[in-house]
Amino acid sequence: MSQTTSTANSITIDTLRKEFNTPDGTVVAVDSIHIEIGPEEFLTLVGPSGCGKTTTLRCLAGLETPTSGEIRLGNRDVSDLPANKRDFAMMFQNIALYPHMKIIDNIAYPLKVRGVSTQERHEHAKEAAEIMQITDLLNKYPGEVSGGQRQRAALARTVVQNPKAFLMDEPLSDLDAKLKVEIRKEIQRVHQRVKRPTVYVTHDQEEAMTMSDRIAVMNNGGIEQIGTPNELYNEPANLFVAQFIGNPSMNFADGTVETVSTDGVSVSVDERIVDLSLNAEADLSMGDEVVLGFRPETVSLDTAGPGFEGEITLIERIDDRMLATVEGDLGEIRATVSADDPLNVGDVVPISFDTSHIHVFDRDTGEHIA
Ligand code: ATP
């Protein structure tokens, strides 16, 4: 299965718009989005339910006709090509292997449709099964293997097509937590091996963060931000992305800019002053209404800071750390603390945060300012 890559395999979603006419009026499912996906890139569309991820993927696949805009493979406009002529392999949440066919014939099925001889397609199916480590299952029927093994077979069925791109819509959502992690790795392994553009849809930001080269965060049919997992985590473009990316999610507190000088910026929050190590170049002026964002790992519950305090209402264990929920001067905030910290529900604790890691957002527009 030798595969070469070239920019001919890059995908461009150019100003794609998709409207649906419903009895209640027109629904704009995808609102003029533009994404370029590199020839070897793993790009994930992530966002809440109804934001337009699946519709975008279906337009890519040729299962929906765009209202306007273009889908290009390399320089070629494939918008008018039917799904079976695009050479994209698709994997969906519902695996739908044929129950009356052995695994080998399920894997080989796309080649049968193309008219490839039985011997040849079985050879290709065996190669794909080897990649997925399921060669011992080839003569079994889907009903005789586990859910995870069926998912591997479905993945092998996409690999066997030697497609120009992989399109995947929530392929892990029916699996339990352990299998999810296992199949997630298999998908990454396949991607690294066959090096074809992959567009992956999920509502799960954690899945997106672990698997992707880049992530497009969608909301209301549009794109809020496209970037690497690190960029989205460390430099969220707006409040929506800041809220969506990261688990546990970022804490927020409303504030008002009090002073801006070469020494820094001070913001009043709940009648206390927070000094931020931002310089006067930050686009902030006295009186600006802002939202401060700070991640749970930058919060400390044992050092007196600007004078905030709160009561611990919940302690959850996450791997080797604890996540404390604190109700107090800043509303409800969360802090990750060491598992050894002697904290208990009901404790009243000081709240401080690392001011060098604070994000400042415009409260009206939600845009990231600093
Ligand atoms: P989910 O995560 O729930 O699958 P999504 O982000 O994939 O959501 P889409 O399924 O693309 O979102 O839907 C985007 C919007 O378009 C929603 O408002 C949805 O109701 C609407 N929509 C999708 N398909 C159709 C259709 N065939 N007819 C009418 N409206 C549709």
pLDDT tens track for 179-203? 889 889 999 999 998 899 999 999 9
Closest to 20 in 3D by CA, of 54, 55, 61, 44: 55
Query: 14 by DSSP, 3-state: which?
Result: strand
Based on the fold, state whether residues 164 and 217 are members of the same structural domain: yes
Is the CB of 262 inside a 6 Å radius of any atom of ligand 1? no
In the prediction, which pLDDT does 145 show? 93
Instruction: Confirm whether 368 is domain-assigned.
Output: no
Residue nearest (by alpha carbon) to ligand 1 atom 11: 52
The 10s digit of each residue's pLDDT in 201-256 is 999 999 999 999 999 999 999 999 999 999 999 999 999 999 999 999 999 999 99
How many structural domains does the chain have? Answer: 2
Same domain, 309 and 334: yes
Contact 81, 250 (CB under 8 A): no
Whether residue 236 is found in the same domain as residue 346: no
Is 162 in the same domain as 57? Answer: yes
| ipTM given for this complex | 0.97
Nearest 5°: the CA angle 203, 7, 235 is 40
Same domain, 217 and 260: no
Pocket lining: 27 vs ligand 1, CB cutoff 6 Å: yes
User: Which of 244, 276, 310 is at the close of a domain?
Assistant: 244
Alpha helices, DSSP H, located in 29-102: 53-61
Interatomic CA distance for residues 213 and 219, integer angstroms: 20
Residue 131 domain-assigned?
A: yes
Domain-located, residue 2: no
What rounded mean pLDDT belongs to the chain? 91
Phi-psi region of 166 (alpha: psi -120 to 50; beta: other; left: phi over 0): beta
Q: How far is CA 221 from CA 129, 139, 153, in A?
A: 37, 44, 33
The minimum-distance atom of ligand 1 relative to the CA of 201 is: 7
Model confidence at 158, pLDDT cuts 50, 70, 90, reads very high
353 residue type, one letter = F
How are strands ordered across the β-sheet holding 198-202?
88-92, 165-169, 198-202, 42-46, 214-219, 222-227
- Confirm whether 322 is domain-assigned: yes
Domain residue limits at 193: 7-244
Which residue CA neighbors atom 19 of ligand 1 most closely? Answer: 50
- Same domain for 255 and 231: no
